[in-house]
């Protein structure tokens, strides 16, 4: 049986989720013939440029414009025309990917990005491919672009995600609430003491992790300054080199600075709280590590929808300013029982077996 796992490299979460599925199937389903493909690697250069650089540019320098675009493509009165226009552009720009799907003769296509799902569904509607299409919705909310006629199964992050799919007209038998697939390293048991020694931090101190994705966006420096005297703070600057240099020069008390890391699960394992952006996969990873999140620098649209969905489960805190962050953190530091109570809500959303359950769908 041939299985394609496909994603779009614009946005690390889509890629990481696809890689998690691929690695799990490779390890546990040896009878499958697997391929892993980035839909954008087949796109024409101008289209790929828009994905690779347009989105980062908007969220850094014109986030209001991104919010407007998201609203226009979601609003019912403008949804039809925006979807029709985008579908035409997507197909014309990614005809090589369409050809790849036709020649591949896959039995299953597992997609973690709506672009690949839309293209595969279009080919199915034209009877050019016969593969079963599984779309993994990598957010807790559901933008209309995720819904394509021809999709056989939707993998939903939560019960609320399922409800949104139902509202979008998806039939219930096509929806499975399995969670967003993630790397199994985020569900393993970790020895906090040993990891603290490895990372050269104090294993006994109340520890806060600041990590806001590959761009290191948000007020990380200000938060670190605010909390440095009250908690042990781990700051992941990722690709934000200027932030890394500034924090390194400041040499704040109780603050340890990291650049780009490949051991996020270890940093989570030694932390009591996390301050982060509400990206879908990042949320799934931290929930399965048992970390209660404080959300900052949310992108208008999908990340704000994620916050709303999690709030319904009593998960997550969204402060209005840095003093609120400090008050919230110190309140939980001084009241371990309250922190434990908040962590109990996490079990309602965590899905530690997401990859395994998705694999069971392929049969």
Average pLDDT over residues 56-85: 79
Q: Is the pLDDT reported for residue 225 higher than 90? A: yes
CA-angle at 115, arms to 109 and 120, nearest 5°: 40
Spatial separation of the C-alpha atoms in residues 213 and 137, rounded to whole Å: 19
pLDDT value of position 185: 92
For residue 27, what are its two tokens?
Answer: 């390890």
Write the DSSP string, 17-85: HHHHHHHHHHHH-TTSEEEEEEGGGGS-HHHHHIIIIIHHHHHHH-HHHHHHHHHHHHSHHHHHHHHHH
pTM score, two decimals?
0.93
Q: Is the pLDDT reported for residue 11 higher than 80? A: no
Describe the strand order of the beta sheet including 2-7 as a list of residue ranges. 33-38, 2-7, 108-111, 132-136, 153-156, 175-177
pLDDT value of position 293: 98
Spatial separation of the C-alpha atoms in residues 141 and 173, rounded to whole Å: 19
Q: Is the pLDDT reported for residue 332 higher than 80? A: yes
> Could you report the per-residue pLDDT of 308-329, keeping only the tens digit for each?
999 999 999 999 999 999 999 9
Rounded to the nearest integer, the mean pLDDT of the chain is: 93
Q: Which positions ≥6 away from 230 have C-beta within 8 Å? A: 326, 329, 330, 333
Q: Which domains does the chain have, with CATH numbers?
A: 2-181 (3.40.50), 185-348 (3.40.50.2000)
């Amino acid at each position: 049986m041939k299985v394609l796992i496909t994603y779009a490299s614009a946005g690390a979460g889509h890629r990481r989720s696809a890689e998690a599925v691929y690695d799990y199937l490779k390890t546990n389903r040896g009878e499958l013939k697997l391929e892993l493909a980035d839909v954008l690697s087949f796109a024409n250069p101008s289209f790929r440029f828009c994905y690779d650089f347009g989105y980062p540019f908007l969220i850094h320098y014109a986030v209001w414009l991104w919010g407007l675009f998201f609203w226009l493509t979601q609003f019912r009165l403008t949804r039809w025309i925006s979807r029709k226009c985008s579908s035409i552009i997507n197909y014309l720009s990614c005809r090589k990917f369409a050809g790849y799907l036709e020649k591949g003769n896959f039995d299953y296509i597992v997609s973690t990005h709506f672009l690949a799902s839309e293209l595969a569904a279009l080919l199915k509607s034209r009877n050019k491919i016969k593969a079963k299409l599984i779309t993994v919705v990598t957010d807790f909310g559901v933008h209309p672009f995720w819904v394509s006629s021809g999709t056989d199964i939707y993998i939903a992050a939560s019960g609320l995600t399922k409800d949104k799919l139902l509202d979008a007209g998806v039939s219930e038998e096509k929806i499975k609430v399995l969670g967003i697939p993630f790397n199994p390293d985020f569900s393993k048991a970790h020895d906090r003491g040993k990891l603290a020694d490895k990372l050269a931090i104090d294993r006994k101190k109340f520890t806060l992790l600041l990590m806001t994705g590959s761009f290191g966006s948000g007020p990380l420096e200000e938060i670190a300054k605010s909390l440095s005297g009250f908690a042990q703070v781990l700051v992941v600057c990722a690709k934000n080199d200027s932030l890394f240099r500034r924090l390194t020069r400041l040499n704040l008390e109780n603050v340890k600075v990291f650049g780009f890391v490949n051991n996020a699960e270890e940093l989570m394992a030694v932390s009591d709280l996390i301050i982060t952006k509400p990206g879908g996969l990042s949320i799934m990873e931290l929930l399965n590590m048992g970390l209660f999140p404080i959300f900052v620098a949310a992108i208008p649209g999908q990340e704000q929808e994620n916050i709303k969905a999690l709030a319904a489960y009593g998960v997550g805190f969204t402060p209005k300013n840095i003093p609120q962050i400090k008050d919230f953190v110190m309140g939980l530091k001084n009241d371990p029982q309250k922190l434990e109570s908040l962590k109990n809500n996490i079990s309602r959303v965590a899905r530690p077996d997401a990859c395994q359950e998705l694999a069971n769908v392929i049969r």
